[in-house]
Amino acid sequence: MMNDLRTEKSLGLHTTPIPGVLIIDLPVHTDNRGWFKENWQRAKMLELGLPDFGPVQNNISFNDKAGTTRGIHAEPWDKFISVAAGTIFGAWVDLREGPGFGTVFTREIDPSMAIFVPAGVGNAYQTLEPKTIYTYLTNAHWSPRDTYTFLNLADTASAINWPIPLDQATLSENDRYHPHMDEVVPFPAATKNRRALVTGANGQLGRELGVQLPAAGYEFVGMDLPELDISDAVAMAEVDWSSYDLVINAAAWTDVNGAESPEGLPLSWRANAVGPANLAKAAVEHGFTLVHISSDYVFDGTKAPYSENDPPSPLGVYGQSKAAGDAAVTPVPRHYLVRTSWVIGGDKNFMRTMKAFADDGVNPTVVSDQIGRLTFAEDLASGIIHLVRSGAEFGTYNLSNTGDPITWYQVAASTFELCGHDPARVSAVTSAEYLADKQQAPRRPLNSTLDLSKIESTGFRAADLRQRMREYLAGL
């Protein structure tokens, strides 16, 4: 039954009647010793068009007899299926809610091909030769808390034409009694009922994510101190990480001056480096997607705009601890490291302070030689959700509002003007002059402008920062 492996195929990709189910041709190299193939090669598979699904587990099933039949199972994870020996008759049924529910696809699979099966598609196979070895990669671990969807192998609606009749095949007792199509509860749509945990949920970004994630179809769970300290390994071990599809780390120590003090230095490193390292470990073990928020302070401000590939060069403890956290997260297979700058949102931020000064008759002095772009929390949250939902390639992305870069002095003066006050009440000062009499105050990067071309190539473009400034102040 097996195709002649001496006829070597080229690496190729083919679609099927079920959206997301893909057939992959695998080159098999043969000689007098046997054969060899690259069963999974991430770089080549991504270039071919497969999603970067981040496998965390490899399973192998040895089937002693022809006619061994397993399925039809639809789990909440993706599978990359192949055969190491023998041949199978594979059957796939779309059990996801939507117009494709019930669509069937069948195909014989031998070692020269593989198949990618997205979450929610029912998967089954029957061995056509004895001693068949069936293998598959998955991007999540089985959990007793998850809900699984099953379909009976003998379902008349799907009408799968098994090569070896089921009454002559070898089946498990469980597989014999799965429900038929009219009893199957469809697998939820891609984001429906998925759970997202946000650490640092009481901060500017955390609160905005609490608004936008439920609207995007996620069940939102927010945690912050003292409920969860991500730098505490004991507390982290008590969290059921397997129940989350997405974890967004918005927790951080952001007191830049305080990080330089004897008391603040260890706290900054715990929150910004040890905490992300603990989350990275959990992400690898449990297979969830980890989004980590980075900062322009990982750079020294001497070269701008900064791209995602520029090496870190932090000037102070805060930037150094953030760079260490970035390094801990980067090896996670399913991660988005989102680097941002000058975040505005919530009840306490620079623009609110300037408005209060303007209204109270205070005439502030603000640095005029630090340049960058503001990032409004609503756009930062929207960009993060866009990356996750669009299936953008995992990795590092710069994210801020768009428009010409601006100085902190210009932000302050514009705030005064937009609130109906004289912008001349704001005085300009250099960073060196501002920090001259301040203790434990590190240098700030003079240019924090980030190159946004990478995230814009995924289809996301944040609003112009000056437009957002007007809207933000009008809403106060």
User: Which residues belong to the active site?
Assistant: 73, 136
Cα separation, 168 vs 395, whole angstroms: 50
Strand residues in 49-172 grouped as ranges (E) = 57-63, 69-74, 79-85, 88-94, 104-109, 113-117, 121-127, 132-138, 149-150
Rounded Cα distance, 283 and 334, in Å: 8
Cis ω before 226 (30° cut-off from 0): yes
Query: Is 135:60 a contact under the CB 8 Å cutoff?
Result: yes
Both tokens of residue 135? 């293998």
Bridge partners of 25, per DSSP, are 12, 113
Provide the edge-to-edge strand list for the sheet that holds 395-398. Answer: 218-223, 194-199, 246-249, 289-295, 335-340, 395-398
Strand order in the sheet with 57-63: 12-15, 22-25, 113-117, 79-85, 132-138, 57-63
| Residues paired with 222 in a beta bridge | 198
Question: HEC profile for 58-82?
Answer: EEEEEECCCCEEEEEEECCCCEEEE
Question: Among positive and negative, which fits the CA dihedral 375, 377, 379, 382?
Answer: positive
Q: Which of 365, 280, 399, 256 is nearest to 328 (CA)?
A: 280
Beta-strand ranges (E) seen in 139-279 are 149-150, 194-199, 218-223, 246-249
Beta bridge partners of 92: 105, 123
List of residues 6+ apart from 139 with CB closer than 8 A: 53, 54, 55, 56, 77, 78, 287, 334
> Residue 261 in contact with residue 449, Cβ under 8 Å?
no
Question: 3-class SS at 101?
Answer: coil
